[in-house]
Amino acid sequence: MIQDSPGATPPEPAGFAQRGGHDAYEHEEDDGATGVLRDVGEPDDADDAEATRRTVDVAESSRASRGWWDRNADEYQSEHGAFLGDDRFVWGPEGLDEADAALLGPATALAGARVLEIGCGAAQCSRWLAGRGARPVALDLSHRQLQHALRIDDGRPGFPLVQADAGTLPFADGSFDLACSAYGGVPFVADSARVMREVHRVLRSGGRWVFSVTHPVRWAFPDEPGPEGLTVSASYFDRTPYVEQDEAGRAVYVEHHRTLGDRVREIAAAGFRLADLVEPEWPHWNSQEWGGWSPLRGALIPGTAVFVCVRD
């Protein structure tokens, strides 16, 4: 079951892009722009996409993200599905596992908890939560990503799948005990302060909101896994979004940057208390590269920031 929320754009036919992997960062050397999460092949209709840094509003960001993830969900899941696991909860490419980190609280306390997962992809995290007795709701903007959730569950997910935008959550106030997001939504929205307010609204008092994003410092470096990714090439303080646009100038892929300070201010302004900021270190067992994340860079600079927020 995929519930299409009133706030979401009506679903279109799902894309079935099956593209061979090639260097998705081929544009970056030209202008130093960085697309830190975009590590699968080019979308079908954007082979000639031009990478740039420019402002993008809420609507254009949402449209670009939905189109890109619909076109690229197949390749994302085929490339990263094994690492993500069907019912594992990892916070990022380092492999920090919620089973060990317990950032949402002790696993034993998850039983019965109402949990909202934002930007769930194929809902691997929600499936892990359901296995601990929680009652997750898995939300994503991309219809094709949610179809992968259905595929994993043979069409019978044990929890609701909702297609909606993180900036307009189709739930009543205080509906959830916990909210989480592993690289889902927050890096892709133009107005992340609005997402913080929305999550605050749908959480009950005492609820917890834990989300991971690319560590902001990565925006100062080229998104390359090798040594070339270790030399500062852009200003950390430049908040101009990373955009790939088609020949008509329409954004087909967008990522938004906030400094650490920006994130802390957005969290506090929404009414949350920041209880922890986790910067996972690269573990010895992890030898895999994921786009610009690699053992080499992971040993030297943080790649992921996980914000643990409490709605007091």
Ligand X SMILES: C[S@@+](CC[C@H](N)C(=O)[O-])C[C@H]1O[C@@H](n2cnc3c(N)ncnc32)[C@H](O)[C@@H]1O
Closer to ligand X by Cβ: residue 142 or 147: 142
Q: Please state the closest distance from residue 288 (CB atom) to ligand X, in A.
A: 14
Question: Which residues lie near ligand X (CB under 6 A)?
Answer: 37, 62, 65, 69, 84, 118-121, 140-142, 145, 165-166, 182-185, 188-189
Q: Please state the closest distance from residue 121 (CB atom) to ligand X, in A.
A: 3
Closer to ligand X by Cβ: residue 62 or 247: 62
Q: Please state the closest distance from residue 76 (CB atom) to ligand X, in A.
A: 7
Closer to ligand X by Cβ: residue 137 or 189: 189
What is the chain written as a DSSP string? -EEE-TTSPPP-PPP--------TTTTHHHH----TT--SPPPGGGTT-EEEE----HHHHHHHHHHHHHHHHHHHHHHHHHHH-TT--B-STT--BHHHH-TTS-GGGGTT-EEEEES-TTTHHHHHHHHTT-EEEEEES-HHHHHHHHHHTTT--SS-EEE--TTS--S-TT-EEEEEEESSSGGG-S-HHHHHHHHHHHEEEEEEEEEEEE-GGGGGS-S-SSGGGGS--S-TT--PPEEEE-TTS-EEEEE----HHHHHHHHHHTT-EEEEEE-PPPPTT----BTTB-HHHHTTS--EEEEEEE--
Q: Please state the closest distance from residue 312 (CB atom) to ligand X, in A.
A: 26
Closer to ligand X by Cβ: residue 113 or 189: 189
Q: Please state the closest distance from residue 298 (CB atom) to ligand X, in A.
A: 17
Q: Please state the closest distance from residue 180 (CB atom) to ligand X, in A.
A: 9
Closer to ligand X by Cβ: residue 34 or 145: 145
Closer to ligand X by Cβ: residue 208 or 231: 208
